[in-house]
Amino acid sequence: MTITLALLLAAQTAGVADTAPPTTAAAAPDVEGAATQTEDREDVSAATAASRDIYVTARRRSEQAQNVPIPLSVVGVKELDSTGSFNVARLQQLQPTLQFYSTNPRNSSVNIRGLGAPLGLTNDGIDQGVGVYIDQVYLSRVAAATLDFLDVQQIETLRGPQGTLYGKNTVAGAINITSKAPSFTFGGRAEVTLGNLEFKQAKAAVTGPLADDVAIRIGLTTTSRRGTIYNVANGTYVNSQDNIGLRTAILYKPTEDLNLTLSGDYTRQNPNCCAQIFVRVGSTQRPLARQFDALARAQGYEPPSRNAFDRLTDLDAPLQAKNTLGGLSLRAEYQLGSGTLTSVSAWRFWDWQPANDRDFTGLPITTRSQNPTRQDQYTQEFRYAGEGRRFDYVLGLFGFYQDIHTTGIQQQGRSASRWLINPTSALANDPSVLNGLTANNDIRLKNFSGAVFGKLNYKVTDSVTLSPGFRLNYDDKVGSYVSIVRDGQGNLVPYSGGTARQAAQRDAIQPQAFQDEAYRAWNASYDFTASYKPSRDVLLYGTYAHSFKSGGLNLNGVPVVNGVVQTQLAQIKPEKVDHFELGAKTQFWDRKATLNVTGFWTNIRDYQAIVNDSSTSSLRGYLANAGKVRVRGIEADFAIRPSDRFNLYVNTAFTDAKYVDFNNAPCPPELSGGGTPTAANPTIGAPGAPGTNSPLVCDISGQWLPGISRFAVSYGGEYNLPTQVFGKAGEAYVGIDANSRTKFSSNASRSIYTDIQGYTLVNARLGFRTDAGVNVFGWVRNLFDVNYYEVLATTPGNTGLIAGNVGDPRTYGITVGASF
């Protein structure tokens, strides 16, 4: 914080006598400033109000979205509230190019066009490919995206590499969240929602002056809901919601040229969560006696239902997903010369306290599985956005430091021996072999990243602009992974050798350690955009970007072969990205209609792909570099508002994403678990044929990337009619929003058991609102009660059990809100 204050006070002194005219950015309507003057106005996005100008800060200055040669989507406060999009999971239903997957807050991924983070278990040692920014502060953990939006004014989703404009390098895009700013005019808003499944949500915000030059804003949100899955083992509902968040911002404006904003926020999430439940069993190449149905029969076990949409489970281990995060930031903005000097200093923390059932059954196989984590993050960004006669530019410096400490534990139960040890071994009938077997893991990461970046927009003519950008980045990561394993009597399990009993224990949980593994590298990025504006309402542009995602460390452990830790796999190479884009932004019919079209082609070398270990060990998936990945597609966003009474939008995306070269990939379950080919018996068995040989690795070149539908579309509209209710003039309205997507893979190596079929979700609302800020509406989400899966996953042990997350059933309720 002292860095920001010192710099801004010096800048204020240096610029007191400067009489240069204000920059375009200063003269244009400021996104946050507009919010302060028109509290809780009906901000609208290109999706619902084509006839209005939408201002964004995508290029670190306020400008009309249709004049920005970047494919982006904008959602304002009205859309967030009316569609119930109070987190990223809901937001993706409005934006078909955004994908969000979560099995719990830690194991979440936010992707744009299918790129960003591997779909699967989170690895602390890698960076995210999609940057999430709240009020210009970078959030390094995707866990932040699982929490409720707090007092948000507007959300911009930028697609494609953004490293020359933003503090942290991002190869897939950025989500730029702007909170409502403090105002010198007293006002606020309150909103209450009640729904089925005991859904309760309350939001409140108040703002006003503390002095002539100081204003404050306080926002609060709380959400709770009963779980959607019934646990027959203990009579409770799981996968509930229990969130609370608080944000305070203080604006100090000592002069017209200087703004200082001190913000603090705290969010706590503590649901009874997160259960992945039985979906199906798929045959593997393991011997039949070692597959799920035979193992379950041997212990007299049967899942409570083999239909996941009965929404039943019998998980016997405790569940917890306590997730707290927050921090402080100081943003200083000073009008200096022909531009704006900005400094953003921030500290953020993340505290994760989980408990999981990693065997996904009601048997005591894995009785404890949790990796509590504490992270502290510090960021400092300096940025100057200036303007000349025919050009404008942004220059920035960014520093990031992250300290993560994870202390995990995994413990096996009394059923583990019969489930995990080959039934032909006498050890399988001795519960004491694995009962109480415990791994204590200590994982540490110290991560520094520093960068200088810049972007120039040069107007060659009034209609042609050339925009080169650059970034020079240095990364320094040092990490350690130590897993100490003890049996039920407290004896150390050796890395190799020992008795047959210890070998069986090692097969269940492999001890290992590597310390002070380091990744250090310089990387350069650059991009170039040419744009042509032949008329007021048409913008054509093309972009080439050469970018990267930082290399990293495997901090979930690496394979151990014959007692030797394969430390050569501890490091992951950086992704190298070449990105091409052509786009057109158009408005017509007196700006009542908007049509934006983008075509893109992205090639990635050394793509960071998740590799899941087939054992039940504490090695919970590690990363490997695929040779090459290609993602290409076409996006079209159309919106029309023929009158103030009616609007309609259709956003579509075609995405073709595949592994071009990945010939040493992990095999899917139907080609796993069998014997090792030998010279005497080299034959690989048919997929899912029990007791046959399995390939050591699989060539999945040409297969789909996980998590991406080839076709996705979001569409909807709203109609309103002037009327009076209880003598209050206003408008009645009805709105429908829907999203459809085609089939997609839910496994790193596509499996016949983990494809998720396409589905369509429809949401509707009916209400009444007034110009004075009163809004009352009823809503239904998943109107037709469609059964669908969010995520499917292969489970440890390669028994053929497939677990998953079922999507929410039909939910409904009523919302009452008022501004003052």
For residue range 643-652, list pLDDT tens digits in order. Answer: 999 999 999 9
DSSP for 443-493, please give it.
Answer: EEEEEEEEEEEEEEEEESSSSEEEEEEEEEEEEEEEEEEEEEEE-TTSPBP
Residue ranges of domains in the chain, CATH in brackets: 2-819 (2.40.170.20)
Query: Does 65 or 803 have the greater pLDDT score?
Result: 803
Q: What CA–CA distances, in Å, run from 230 to 60, 243, 277, 315?
A: 47, 20, 10, 10
Q: Which residues, at least 6 apart from 590, have a Cβ–Cβ distance to it below 8 Å?
A: 51
> In 3-state terms, what secondary structure has residue 411?
strand
What pLDDT score was predicted for residue 583?
98
Amino acid at the residue 62: S
Do 624 and 664 contact (CB within 8 A), yes or no? Answer: yes
Average pLDDT estimate for 610-622: 53
Distance from C-alpha of 328 to C-alpha of 348, rounded to nearest angstrom: 7
Q: Give yes or no for a contact between 276 and 793, defined as CB atoms under 8 angstroms apart.
A: yes
CB-side neighbour CA atoms (13 Å) of 296: 16
In the numeric block, which tokens belong to residue 30?
């400021």
Q: What is the spatial distance between Cα 309 and Cα 316, in angstroms, rounded to a whole number?
A: 20
The DSSP H or E segment spanning 250 is strand 241-255
Residues in contact with 168: Cβ distance below 8 Å, sequence separation at least 6, in sequence order: 127, 131, 138, 140, 398, 400, 449, 451
Q: Is 751 exposed, middle or buried (0-12, 13-18, 19+ CB in 10 A)?
A: buried
Q: For position 210, what pLDDT does the model report?
A: 98
Q: What average pLDDT score do residues 106-113 get?
A: 89
Residue 54 confidence (pLDDT) above 90: no
The pLDDT, as a whole number, for residue 452 is: 97
> Could you tell me the pLDDT band of residue 576, with boundaries at 50, 70 and 90?
very high
590 exposure class (CB count in 10 Å sphere: 0-12, 13-18, 19+): exposed
Of how many residues is the chain composed?
820
CB-hemisphere CA count at 13 Å for 522?
Answer: 3
Assigned token pair, 506:
């090692």
Global confidence as pTM: 0.90
**For residue 752, which phi and psi values (nearest 5 degrees)?**
-70, -10
Among 126-135, 396-405, 454-463, 708-717, the range scoring the smallest mean pLDDT is 126-135
**How many CB atoms within 10 Å of residue 781?**
21
What is the per-residue pLDDT for 144? 66
Both tokens of residue 160? 């494609």
Which of the pair, 683 or 795, is modelled with greater confidence?
683
Confidence of residue 288 (pLDDT cuts 50, 70, 90): very high
**Distance (Å, rounded) from C-alpha 2 to C-alpha 336?**
20
At residue 1, the pLDDT reads: 47
H/E stretch holding 90 reads helix 88-91
**DSSP count for the chain of H helices, then E strands:** 8, 44
**Residue 363 to residue 560: CA distance in whole angstroms:** 28
Partners of 653 in the beta sheet?
A: 635, 712
Mean of pLDDT values over 238-259:
97
- When the pLDDT of each residue in the chain is averaged and rounded to a whole number, the result is 89
**Confidence check: pLDDT of 18 > 50:** no
What 3-state DSSP class applies to 42? coil
pLDDT digits (tens, 9 = 90+) for 187-216: 999 999 999 999 999 999 999 999 999 999
Residue 730 pLDDT class (50, 70, 90 cuts): very high
pLDDT of 385 strictly over 60: yes
Residues in Cβ contact with 575 at an 8 Å cutoff, skipping those fewer than 6 apart = 129, 171, 548, 549, 604, 605, 606, 607, 608
Residue 563 confidence (pLDDT): 77
Of 707, 737, 706, 735, give the one whose Cα is nearest residue 720.
735
3-class SS of residue 32: helix
SS (H, E, C) 345-394: EEEEEEEEEEECCCCCCCCCCEEEEECCEEEEEEEEEEEEEEECCCEEEE
**What is the DSSP code (8-state) at residue 688?**
T
Secondary structure percentages of the chain, helix, strand, coil, to 5 = 10, 55, 35
Burial class (CB within 10 angstroms; exposed 0-12, middle 13-18, buried 19+) of 16: exposed
For the cut 70, the answer to whether the pLDDT of residue 224 exceeds it is: yes
Q: Which residues of 671-705 are buried (b: 16+ CB within 10 A; e: fewer)?
A: bbbbbebeeeeeebbebbbbebbbeeebebeebbb
**pLDDT for 112 beyond 50:** yes
Bridge partners for 312 per DSSP: 230
Do residues 249 and 179 touch, judged by C-beta distance below 8 A? yes
Q: How many CB atoms lie within 10 A of CB 721?
A: 10
**The pLDDT of residue 11 is above 90:** no
Residue 728: count other Cβ atoms within 10 Å of its Cβ. Answer: 13
Q: Show the tokens assigned to 638.
A: 């159309």
At 143 the pLDDT is: 72
What is the reported pLDDT for 92?
A: 85
Instruction: Determine contact, residues 360/315, Cβ cutoff 8 Å.
Output: yes
- pLDDT tens for each residue of 298-342: 999 999 999 999 999 999 999 999 999 999 999 999 999 999 999
Integer Rg of the chain from CA: 27
Residue of 272, 282, 269 whose CA lies nearest to 233: 272
Residue 619 has pLDDT above 60, yes or no: no
- Residue 75 banded pLDDT, cuts 50, 70, 90: confident
Q: Is 562 exposed, middle or buried (0-12, 13-18, 19+ CB in 10 A)?
A: exposed
**Which two three-digit tokens encode residue 766?**
């009916």
pLDDT band at 609 (very low <50, low <70, confident <90, very high): confident
Residue 297 has pLDDT above 50, yes or no: yes
pLDDT band at residue 479, thresholds of 50, 70 and 90? very high
pLDDT at 106: 84
Closest C-alpha among 269, 267, 272 to residue 240? 272
Residue type, 703: Q
What the block records as the tokens of 518 is: 């380091």
pLDDT digits (tens, 9 = 90+) for 387-433: 999 999 999 999 999 999 999 899 999 999 999 999 999 999 999 99
Confidence tier at 664 by pLDDT (50, 70, 90): confident
Lowest mean pLDDT among 15-19, 112-116, 637-641: 15-19
- Preceding peptide of 274 cis, ω within 30°: yes
What is the rounded CA–CA span in Å between residue 28 and residue 449? 33
Residue 480 has pLDDT above 60, yes or no: yes
Count Cβ atoms below 10 Å from residue 185 Cβ, excluding itself: 12
**For position 309, what pLDDT does the model report?**
98
55-56 vs 130-134, strand pairing mode: unpaired
Q: Is the pLDDT of residue 90 over 90?
A: no
Share of the chain above pLDDT 90, in %: 75
pLDDT at 328: 98
Closest CA to 265 of 188, 145, 150, 344: 150
Element (H, E) at 516: strand 512-535
**Residue 642 contacts residue 625 (beta carbons within 8 Å):** no
pLDDT over 60 at 246, yes or no:
yes
Q: What is the pLDDT of residue 22?
A: 30
